[in-house]
Amino acid sequence: MRSSLSGTKSKFISITEVGAAVSVLLGFAPPSTLSSASSEKLNEVLMADPFDRPHAVFLLEISGFGANEQPELGSDSGVFSKALKHEIAIGDADIQLSEEDELSLVSLNKPLPVDMEFTDTDLTNFASLFGGSYANSELESLSGELTIPLANDAQLKLYLSKKADREFTTSIISLIHNVQRAIQVHEDLDGSPAELINGRFDGFKAFQEHYGTDDIVQKGSELLVKAVSKIYDSLQTTYNGELVGIVSFTRSSAEESNMMLNIKMATRASPRWLEEKDEGSHDASHALIAEVLLVRRTLAWITGIILVIATLMGVEVQTNIFWAIPTPPIRTPAATVDPPRNRRPPPSTACASIPEFLSISPLSPSFLA
């Protein structure tokens, strides 16, 4: 990601462009339906080098914030002071991946194990993480007072005896626990696949709906921002800086609990499979597949037999041609002997003077006929 410029105004970006940016950061190709204007926006945000990708993304959606109710992300808010800020249109989109893409996906919405219960010790550790304190209650566990220091010498006091305060606090602790689980998954990975840590945090939405416009809501958002900053810092340390975080603050109603960005695997079905599905019933498709396999195997066997026969015939023809070539006779010069001068040569016979290789055999009767 490119570094943000000081004084840069917030720019508008669609949720589809956010999904495309996540795909590129993971090292995958953006969707083919991405427009040229959206591609130019991504070029302004992402580094130009296609080989300089972190292959790890932390994606978190936080509900409960309206357009005019965004949290304070000033210089005291950790990593958010250096972040690129964009306004996102309301909607949803898919992060499209192919079957060849290798991705490790860890959800931050996984509930805690049944055998794991919150204790006063968990609340004490949570308070110390932010430099605060937790005062136990002598009457009942998980009903003490949690004090967290904030900016400008302000303090946030949460009373765990109240349901809204307790649910808000335990939801942040659950988020931290799931991030620790994601870190453990990263350390146990064999190889280096792309990693996506995504989730949705709805704990602040219930807290905001309970208190309305009270000042405690603003302080609660500051605590949430500090918690997300610490989470991102721990991830950056684990990944040695090779990770990009995308945090969106949205306002969703109680019925809208789905995430804006969803993972979608694109499957490539062959034309034959589409034809088989159009045949109708499940049994008919299986019968058609069996017929296709039978025809393929029959054609393969016939082709193999023809090739074997053709090979044997070719070898036999070559052998016959080799043996049919006549071998010319080897002529040896006869020794010449000078006849005596006064000696008359013996009378010759009819066939004595005809060489053997010029002798003509008489024609057979069958040929004459």
The residues near 136 (Cβ < 8 Å, ≥ 6 apart) are: 120, 144
Residue 69 has what pLDDT?
65
The residues near 25 (Cβ < 8 Å, ≥ 6 apart) are: 1, 46, 53, 54, 55, 57, 244
Residue 291 has what pLDDT?
73
Which residue, 144, 320, 142, 127, is CA-closest to 226?
127
Q: Is residue 181 part of a domain?
A: no
What tokens appear for 290 in the block? 């069996």
Hunting for tokens 């066997």 — which residue is that?
301
286 pLDDT exceeds 60?
A: no
Residue 243 has what pLDDT?
93
Kindly indicate the confidence band of residue 230, based on its pLDDT and cuts at 50, 70 and 90: very high
Number of domains in the chain: 1
Kindly indicate the confidence band of residue 223, based on its pLDDT and cuts at 50, 70 and 90: very high
For 255-285, the pLDDT digits (tens) are: 555 777 888 776 544 444 344 444 444 555 5
In contact, 132 and 226? CB cutoff 8 Å: no
Residue 358 has what pLDDT?
40
Q: Is residue 23 part of a domain?
A: yes
Residue 118 has what pLDDT?
84
For 292-313, the pLDDT digits (tens) are: 778 888 888 899 899 889 888 8
Question: pLDDT exceeding 90 applies to what percent of the chain?
Answer: 31
Residue 257 has what pLDDT?
56
Distance CA 44, CA 38 (A): 10
Residue 214 has what pLDDT?
82
For 352-364, the pLDDT digits (tens) are: 444 444 444 444 4
Q: What is the mean pLDDT of residues 324-353?
A: 52
Q: Is residue 19 part of a domain?
A: yes
Residue 328 has what pLDDT?
58
Q: Is residue 68 part of a domain?
A: yes
Cβ neighbours, 10 Å, residue 217: 17
**More confident: 18 or 101:** 18
Distance CA 111, CA 311 (A): 68
Residue 40 has what pLDDT?
87
Q: What is the 3-state secondary structure (H, E, C) of 139-156?
A: CCCCCCEEEEECHHHCEE
Q: Is residue 313 part of a domain?
A: no
Q: Is residue 36 part of a domain?
A: yes
Q: Is residue 288 part of a domain?
A: no
Q: Is residue 39 part of a domain?
A: yes
Q: What is the mean pLDDT of residues 154-169?
A: 93
For 60-98, the pLDDT digits (tens) are: 999 888 656 667 765 555 677 778 888 887 777 888 777
What tokens appear for 47 in the block? 């580094």
Residue 160 has what pLDDT?
92
Q: What is the mean pLDDT of residues 133-137?
A: 92
Cβ neighbours, 10 Å, residue 147: 16
Question: pLDDT exceeding 70 applies to what percent of the chain?
Answer: 69
* CA 306 to the chain's CA centroid: 45
Average confidence score pLDDT of the chain: 77
Residue 81 has what pLDDT?
74
**More confident: 368 or 13:** 13
Residue 6 has what pLDDT?
37
**More confident: 287 or 349:** 287
Distance CA 226, CA 216 (A): 15
CA distances from 290 to 281, 282, 284, 296 (A): 15, 13, 10, 10
User: What is the span of the domain harbouring residue 91?
Assistant: 11-111+192-215+224-271
Q: What is the mean pLDDT of residues 112-123?
A: 80
> Among 155-164, 178-187, 322-331, which stretch is predicted with the lowest mean pLDDT?
322-331
Q: What is the mean pLDDT of residues 138-158?
A: 90
Residue 345 has what pLDDT?
53
